[in-house]
Amino acid sequence: MTVMRRRSFITASGVGLAGAALAAPAVAQTQPEIKWRLASSFPKSLDTLYGAAEFLSKRVSEATDDKFQIRVFAGNEIVPAFQVLDAVQNNTVELGQTASYYYVGKDPTFSFDCTMPFGMNYRQMNAWMTHGGGLQLLRDFFKDYNIYNIPAGNTGAQMGGWFRKEIKTVEDLKGLKFRIAGLAGAILQKLGVVPQQIPGGDIYPSLEKGTIDAAEWVGPYDDEKLGFYKVAKYYYYPGWWEGQASTSLYVNIGQWEKLPKSYQAILTAACGETNSWMLGKYDTDNVAALRRLIAGGAQLRPFSKEILDAAYKAAQEFYAETSAKNSKWKAIYDPWKKFLEDELQWFQVAELQFDSYMSSKKS
């Protein structure tokens, strides 16, 4: 996806991000100075999630010889972490960086733009968005919220979270107060969990005080930074609700339409580069972080097949129920499900077999 965007960008404007230092003056001579504000949902301490917004801002500035400047604000600095969508929709800020599943309370359809429980991995999500019609379906949906959405980051597959006690059976889930975002909360409610949606910066004190019994965030690198291992030692996997998680750049549609075409191309290309940057950083940094967490006493545990099967069944029930009552959801869910089924047939032939064999050979 990044390569294609770069090629498109070079064709459209004659400026590639890699060659920005050489070509930017030509843009600077003909284009206006623009200063936009970006409200993030994430705290500054998370240098991969929040850091991705800073990376994007830097690339746009470099590609325009500082003509197009984006000032980044962390969650709760100028906009509450979970109100980024509203701020961009109302043009309080021009840009937002967020995870769309934070807004499933408005409409569960938002989840498709971020992740779906028992859904796609990163490669499959990328294929759906770029060549499977997914991005256009989502943009049609986001028009009702005055937003133009661009994929701008991905975590890859996530962990299943931190628990104060071992979770071996479905019975162990009943009454559990669990910080979890998106549709997974509604699905786990079917199994007796009491879901809590809490911004990243507020999770640790809630876990420390016992307001919640368990919490999930992303994976080892971020989880270590947030300190969950200090108050909950059982670390579960996989995060079946997030086989990948795409973060988005929200652009106010009115502002997007006024933006010069070359700036639109630069912003789109920067988002593509940010997408690759974030995934690469997580895949690199999670390795050492997981080793440190285990050395520090974290107890790594897989979710039991009983729990995974029960959660999968509950997810399929939720999807069927939502399809029956929400036409916007169904318009995306049906082609999304068909695309995922086709992808799984392909991935089990080559990818799964290769990954399984390589994993068996690690020393």
Position of tokens 């299943």?
160
The per-residue pLDDT for range 135-174, each reduced to its tens digit, is 999 999 999 999 999 999 999 999 999 999 999 999 999 9
The per-residue pLDDT for range 295-351, each reduced to its tens digit, is 999 999 999 999 999 999 999 999 999 999 999 999 999 999 999 999 999 999 999
In percent, the amount of the chain with pLDDT more than 70 equals 92
Average pLDDT, the chain: 93
Q: Tell whether 218 and 317 lie within a shared domain.
A: yes
pLDDT of 11 reads 40
The per-residue pLDDT for range 257-289, each reduced to its tens digit, is 999 999 999 999 999 999 999 999 999 999 999
Q: Tell whether 176 and 123 lie within a shared domain.
A: no
Q: Tell whether 108 and 202 lie within a shared domain.
A: no
Q: Beta 95-98 vs 34-40: how paired, if at all? A: parallel
Are 80 and 91 in contact, with CB atoms under 8 Å apart?
A: no
pLDDT of 2 reads 41
Would 184 be classed as within a structural domain?
yes
Q: Tell whether 7 and 74 lie within a shared domain.
A: yes
Q: Tell whether 249 and 147 lie within a shared domain.
A: yes
Question: Residue 19 — very low, low, confident or very high, per pLDDT cuts 50/70/90?
Answer: very low
pLDDT of 9 reads 42
pLDDT of 26 reads 52
Q: For the whole prediction, is pTM greater than 0.85?
A: yes
In percent, the amount of the chain with pLDDT more than 90 equals 89
Note down the domain range covering 232. Answer: 161-242+292-334
Amino acid letter, 37: R
Q: Tell whether 237 and 259 lie within a shared domain.
A: no
Residue 104 has pLDDT above 80, yes or no: yes
Total tally of structural domains belonging to the chain: 2
pLDDT of 83 reads 97
pLDDT of 200 reads 86
Residue 4 has pLDDT above 70, yes or no: no
| Cis status, amide bond into 238, omega within 30 of 0 | yes
Query: What's the CA angle centered on 248, arms 113 and 15, to 5 degrees?
Result: 125
Q: Tell whether 142 and 98 lie within a shared domain.
A: yes
Which residues have a Cβ under 8 Å from the Cβ of 341 and sit 6 or more positions away? none
Would 339 be classed as within a structural domain?
no
The least confident of 7-21, 217-231, 304-318 is 7-21
The stretch 12-27 carries a mean pLDDT of: 45
The per-residue pLDDT for range 27-56, each reduced to its tens digit, is 456 789 999 999 999 999 999 999 999 999
Question: Who wins on pLDDT, 6 or 235?
Answer: 235
pLDDT of 362 reads 82
pLDDT of 31 reads 86
